[in-house]
Amino acid sequence: MNTPQDSSLGREVSYPSQYDPGLLFPIPRAAARAEIGLDDNALPFVGHDRWHAFELGWLDNRGKPCVAVATVQVPCTSPNLVESKSFKLYLNSLNSARFADAETLRTTIASDLSACAGATVQVTFGLPALRDTPLGESIDGLDVDIDCYGPPRADYLSADPSEIVEEILVSALLKSNCPVTGQPDWATVSVRYRGARIDRAGLLRYLVSYREHAEFHEQCVERIFNEVSQRCAPDVLEVEARYTRRGGLDINPWRASPGIVAPASMDRELRQ
């Protein structure tokens, strides 16, 4: 089985002592998408899941340790997402493995992750630069009362069709929980759109209503994209959540209206 409950999440596991690509655990995307009314064969968005791996080490042919950081990009059209704990265990399994050079390791990681995801995964060594300017306009300072922390309340979302705008709204208050362990996941989320002006107070209340919601990072972003699309009907929409690091990994799911091309230059938040 390939459900979260079948993975290593929430279980005591042995620290891997040798390279083992079998540690990677795929979770099919289709079931979670069906729960929110998405057809895996006719997705209303394009996108990717961008991982940053800060704890990557291996040995060269003479046994000398080497270290690097990596950026990994998994297409949202892949049949599977890569479960995060299995990803960490896999990276740890490289610590005592010998590779001729960094490029050999990079292609090995790309091949192993592609096999797990069921689609071509891009791996580069190095990280995007830290962002030093605001990603958009923060809505966190709004003077609002909030008393709902889950489940997500799509009915909070609304837009005024009498005013057409193009803007990027940002909140650092997104928090959700792992569906297996219950551990908190923290993120800065951005909503870029063109269309009827979205009610900011309603959007903030909606994002905070994920606070006790249990769902994987990628699934939360797809739910946000789908519900903003349905409730606010923007002409163009992009949603990205930049999650903070856990176990040397952070993830940045990005979903956008078909036809939008991902930015050529990515960056990271200071919280990452």
Catalytic residue positions, numbered: 178, 185
Name the nearest CA neighbour of 239 among 247, 230, 248: 230
Name the nearest CA neighbour of 53 among 270, 268, 205: 268
Three-state DSSP at 172 gives strand
Name the nearest CA neighbour of 253 among 95, 7, 78: 78
Binding residues are 82-85, 217-218, 246-247
The tokens of 145 are what?
A: 């009362």
- Neighbouring C-beta atoms of residue 6, cutoff 10 Å: 12
CB under 8 Å to 256, separation ≥6 — which residues? 45, 46, 47, 237, 238, 239, 262
